[in-house]
Structure 1
Amino acid sequence: MAELRPIAPAFVVPGPSGVAVRDRLKHLTPEDDKLLRLVGAHLGALASADLKTRCADGLGHCAGTWAARKRELTALSSARWAGAITKASHDQWALARRCQARHIGDLEAAITTITRRLSLPVGKKGTRKEPGGYRSALEWFAKSRRLHLLQDRLKRLRADQQAGRVRVVRGGKRLARARHHLEATGLTEAEWRQTWQAERWFLAADGESGKRYGNETIRITPDGQVSIKLPVPLAHHANAPHGRYVLACRVAFAHRRSEWADRIEAKRAVAYRIHLDVTCDRWYITASWQIPAAPAIPMTAAIAAGVIGVDTNADHLAAWHLDTHGNPIGNPRHFPYDLNGNAEHRDAQVRHALTRLLHWARTCGVKAIAVEDLDFAMEKTREKHGRRKRFRQVISGMPTGRLRARLTSMADQMGIAIIAADPAYTSKWGAQHWQARLTSKTRTTTRHDAAAVAIGRRAQGHPIRRRTAPPPAHRSDEQGHRTVQAGPDARGREGPRPRIPGPRTRSVPPGRGAYAGDQNAQHRSERSTEYRQLMLSL
């Protein structure tokens, strides 16, 4: 029997530590649109040059070089714009370093898998945990060539990591590559150029506590007036004192407006980012700020009113309401979403499905939702799953990280806790113990519904296996076997039962007789089958 991996205990996911809200800049005049483009292009060019300098510094970066970069940018913009640009460059370099380390880990895992499979005979069968040898000599030869390619790539990445070199593209590597495949993307060269320039603009300013309305660079008053501190070369475009430009539009954040208003009235830091949606030709502004992380509620309090188990799939969420004892209540619910299309469409689909899930959870009266603690980072490579291309596409398309982050943020506002449970064997054991039992003439239970029950029970601390049925009314076999019983190959199944305190009959208490474990010593009409086979073999 294969050894099962240990099951990690469930835990309550901590709440979000930041907030971001967005609103559209409506009714902009042509002068406003022109000025935003000028400021974005000017600051974007400065950000590109500063990022190049930061990448050239590599591991030799220090506070002195940071201050020197900021002084150079201050003369071309302002002190606050220079601080925002240098901080963004440093954060982007640090992110590239983390991605580089993750890529090295992926390459090492792929090389280990290929090396092991190449050492096995061609055609050798694999197991559930480890793949076997390659199917043919041709595939073995192709993988041996790929092994050398990955080893050379890993060698270059390790050299870059030691030297502090990173590969960063302002505007995105995917959009840069789309320039060579315009027909496949459906863009013309002019449309691509406009999108590329807009992505490389820089119109973001960090907040500063103690300053007026929490931000001196991009300021929004309580009545929604937006003003921007212009860089020094563009100060002649100012239409307000102190080199500021006031936009003709008004901003009214519909979501969390009261929280945002309280922060700016108290002069607490609020960061703003202005960006252009080239497809719709609309300007948007995003406000963000940090919030103290709320302490996670105890597990006992979270599951006191039951939970809702949720199974995450590539196209829907399967959910089932469980009571405090882990019993399914009512019928399962499905919340579908479509992940085809652009990023905004996918994000809207996930948000809509989570909104319906949370509203249903509030209707059920539960205080917790149990989800799987999924991470497919090391599980979707072709070196691990080989020819199972469809399976790799399915797990790659599941929005695990985005879904969990959004669910945690949205549930925090509704007072619902999120419990992360270990995903090991939930689909298999759920189908084994719950799918057939929950299927009736009027309800068809899918494998995903049964997995939702398994996830909810694991989050509550209950075993996934169903409870043992009570003993029959008498000792004959007409009522059949119990739900959970020892298999024919289990050792000790013919032995005595464990000692149960208290008498059960008027005669000898259970487990106390001289021949309690010997079935051949009981008053039976015939000997047991095992005894007869033993006597015939003598």
Structure 2
Amino acid sequence: MGGVRELAGSFVVPGPCGVAVRDRLKHLTPRDEMVLRAVGEHQGALASRDLKARCADGLEHGADSWVLRKRDLTPLSSSRIAGAITKATHDQWALARRCQAAHIQKLAAGIRTLRQRLSLPVGEPGTKRAAGGYRSKGEWFRKSRRLSMLEDRHATAVAEWQAGRVRVVRGGRRLLNTRHHLAQAGLTEDQWRERWEAERWFIAADGESGKRFGNETIRVAPDGEVSIRLPAPLAHLANAGHGRYILTSTVAFAHRGAEWADRIEANRAVAYRIHLDTGRGRWYLTASWQRPVVKTVPLGTVRARGMIGVDTNADHFAAYRLDRHGNPVGHPHRFPYDLSGTASHRDAQIRHALTRLINWAVRVGVAAIGIEDLDFTAEKTREKHGRKKRFRQLISGIPTGKLKARLVSMAAEQGLAIVAVDPAYTSRWGAQHWQKPLVTSHRTMSRHDAAGIAIGRRALGYPVRRRTAPPPHDRSDRAGHRTVQAGPGARGREGTRPPATDRLPGGPSPNGTRKREPSASNTVRDAPSTQQWVQDSLMRTG
């Protein structure tokens, strides 16, 4: 155990700080669509120009340059629209800056791995913790050339980082590259052009507390009426007073509609965004607002009613329920999903699997779900895993960031807390200590199910092992009791564990059939037995 790294402590994940709901803008007239397209194109051009100016400023940007940029945009739009554009520009530049830092770290990790392997003799065997030398001189030569390439890329990226130079594509770099592969994407040039222009439009407005219905630029009334404050050059298109255009379509948010109505009735800030789905030819309006920061529930409180440990895999969630002492209850549960296909299909699969998981957690009455704090950022490089291309694709396909965000948001609506644990050794130790003992004629256990138990025990604050070493045999009171047992105040700590059939003694069997009563023993006991009962390895332990 000397090589085991130190494990990080478990913690309760903070709840969501924002809410977003969406509804379709139905029955728009041709004039409505013409106005929306004109507003999107005009404000999108302003956003592109502002982003170019912000990237040119680099690290020299400050409050003065921000004021100048907003002052230049105001005559071409309005003060509020100019503020929304400059804020979106800053967010996009900051995101590009963070991606640049992550890219530098990835290159540095690859360089370290290549240097370490190139320093070893050809054919040197590796270990579980470090890769060995390359298998042939030809591979060694090719990897040395790749090292030179990575070092050159790293030097260029570091120079750009120090100079404050970022590379941003409004509309998305992936969609831009799709222009060169239209046949593979199944798009014509006109279809790609329409999607490209729609992605670069800007029809959004931040909320303003104290203003009518929480937003002065894009206003949604309680009856669902949507009106837009047109920019100054497009004021001639207005069909209402004060340069506003009222759409013929109305919205009604089916999800969180009451919460949204309460906010606009109190004139609290609500941000809106209008966008066009070119694939379906539909317009949508998205409303979002911030929630007040809620104090995180103490870790001891969420552990009081047990825990559900969840092991995240490439095609399913493996979940197991544990009581507050860390004992597995019932049978394992698996929630499958399919991460192939389009991004919308993958997102729907994750959402449906999480919905089933959370509904089960609510039914069994636990207060929290334990999950691994996964982050595969530095674990999917070709330098680390070499020829294991399928494995790299496997871990790259697990949406760790989106999964955590969606799970926290969905669980908060059901009053469940999320406890993040260190993912180290959960699969290995779970299979070692829990997989074989829990296999019965009515229960099958996989390595992933056992990992769910390990995750749940770690979230509860217990070690993964079922029992610790017993006290010395010469003096049982010298070293005390086992350290993984339940405390003296725990009710039922001396009771036996439930039978393998998960039913009470004397109760009906799971399939409803009655079993034959056991026959009387022929052994005659003249005196009480003096045998000392030894607690079973799967009894209630803490």
If the TM-score is normalised by the length of the shorter chain, which range does it land in? 0.7 to 0.9
Displacement after TM superposition at 1:8 (Å): 1.2
What corresponds to 2:448 in structure 1? Answer: 448
Q: How does 1:404-415 map to 2 (within 5 A)?
A: 404-415=404-415
Displacement after TM superposition at 1:439 (Å): 1.4
Displacement after TM superposition at 1:485 (Å): 8.0
What corresponds to 2:292 in structure 1? Answer: 292
* Cα distance in 1, alignment partners of residues 475 and 410 from structure 2: 50
Displacement after TM superposition at 1:200 (Å): 0.5
Distance 1:327-1:277 versus aligned 2 partners, 3 A rule: same
TM-score (norm 2): 0.86
Question: Residue by residue, what CA displacement relative to the aligned partner does 1:104-163 show, whole Å, maximum 9, x if unpaired?
Answer: 111111111111111011111111121111111111111111111111111111111111
What corresponds to 1:500 in structure 2? Answer: 477
1:249 corresponds to which letter in structure 2? S
Q: How does 1:363-402 map to 2 (within 5 A)?
A: 363-402=363-402
Q: How does 1:213-224 map to 2 (within 5 A)?
A: 213-224=213-224
Question: Residue by residue, what CA displacement relative to the aligned partner does 1:479-500 show, whole Å, maximum 9, x if unpaired?
Answer: xxxxx689xxxxxxxx974552
* Cα distance in 2, alignment partners of residues 181 and 329 from structure 1: 53
* Cα distance in 2, alignment partners of residues 212 and 485 from structure 1: 70
Asked whether the equivalents of residues 306 and 367 of structure 1 are also in contact (C-alpha less than 8 Å), the reply is yes
TM-score (norm 1): 0.87
1:100 corresponds to which letter in structure 2? Q
1:73 corresponds to which letter in structure 2? L
Question: Residue by residue, what CA displacement relative to the aligned partner does 1:158-206 show, whole Å, maximum 9, x if unpaired?
Answer: 1111111100000000010011011111111111111111100101111
What corresponds to 2:101 in structure 1? Answer: 101
Displacement after TM superposition at 1:265 (Å): 1.2
In the alignment, structure 2 segments of 5+ residues that lack a partner are 480-542
* Cα distance in 1, alignment partners of residues 258 and 26 from structure 2: 21
2:112 corresponds to which letter in structure 1? T
1:139 aligns with 2:116: no
1:201 aligns with 2:201: yes
Question: Residue by residue, what CA displacement relative to the aligned partner does 1:483-534 show, whole Å, maximum 9, x if unpaired?
Answer: x689xxxxxxxx97455269xxxxxxxxxxxxxxxxxxxxxxxxxxxxxxxx
What corresponds to 1:258 in structure 2? Answer: 258
Superposed CA RMSD: 1.6
Q: How does 1:219-238 map to 2 (within 5 A)?
A: 219-238=219-238
Displacement after TM superposition at 1:342 (Å): 2.0
Q: Which moved more, 1:449-458 or 1:290-299?
A: 290-299
What corresponds to 2:8 in structure 1? Answer: 8
Q: Which moved more, 1:169-178 or 1:328-337?
A: 328-337
What corresponds to 2:335 in structure 1? Answer: 335
Q: Secondary structure at the match of 2:318?
A: strand
Q: Which has the larger Rg?
A: 1
Displacement after TM superposition at 1:322 (Å): 0.9
Displacement after TM superposition at 1:467 (Å): 2.7
Displacement after TM superposition at 1:2 (Å): 5.6
- For these two proteins, the number of residue pairs brought into alignment is 479
1:361 corresponds to which letter in structure 2? A
Q: Secondary structure at the match of 1:242?
A: helix
Q: Secondary structure at the match of 2:363?
A: helix
Q: How does 1:17-96 map to 2 (within 5 A)?
A: 17-96=17-96
2:477 corresponds to which letter in structure 1? I
What corresponds to 2:274 in structure 1? Answer: 274
* Cα distance in 2, alignment partners of residues 188 and 77 from structure 1: 34
* Cα distance in 2, alignment partners of residues 81 and 370 from structure 1: 43
2:387 corresponds to which letter in structure 1? R
Distance 1:497-1:144 versus aligned 2 partners, 3 A rule: farther
In the alignment, structure 1 segments of 5+ residues that lack a partner are 469-483, 487-494, 503-538
Displacement after TM superposition at 1:372 (Å): 0.5
Q: Which moved more, 1:292-301 or 1:310-319?
A: 292-301
1:271 corresponds to which letter in structure 2? A
What corresponds to 2:532 in structure 1? Answer: none
1:413 corresponds to which letter in structure 2? E
Q: Secondary structure at the match of 1:14?
A: coil
What corresponds to 2:420 in structure 1? Answer: 420
What corresponds to 2:301 in structure 1? Answer: 301
* Cα distance in 1, alignment partners of residues 474 and 129 from structure 2: 36
What corresponds to 2:461 in structure 1? Answer: 461
Q: Give % identity.
A: 66
What corresponds to 1:471 in structure 2? Answer: none
* Cα distance in 1, alignment partners of residues 20 and 74 from structure 2: 28
Asked whether the equivalents of residues 14 and 293 of structure 1 are also in contact (C-alpha less than 8 Å), the reply is no
Question: Residue by residue, what CA displacement relative to the aligned partner does 1:427-446 show, whole Å, maximum 9, x if unpaired?
Answer: 00111111111112222111
2:280 corresponds to which letter in structure 1? C
1:500 corresponds to which letter in structure 2? D
What corresponds to 1:311 in structure 2? Answer: 311
Q: Secondary structure at the match of 1:107?
A: helix
1:241 aligns with 2:241: yes
* Cα distance in 2, alignment partners of residues 98 and 79 from structure 1: 29
* Cα distance in 2, alignment partners of residues 39 and 349 from structure 1: 35
* Cα distance in 2, alignment partners of residues 285 and 135 from structure 1: 57
What corresponds to 2:120 in structure 1? Answer: 120
What corresponds to 2:130 in structure 1? Answer: 130
* Cα distance in 2, alignment partners of residues 5 and 411 from structure 1: 31
Displacement after TM superposition at 1:346 (Å): 1.4
* Cα distance in 2, alignment partners of residues 496 and 23 from structure 1: 70
Q: Secondary structure at the match of 2:309?
A: strand
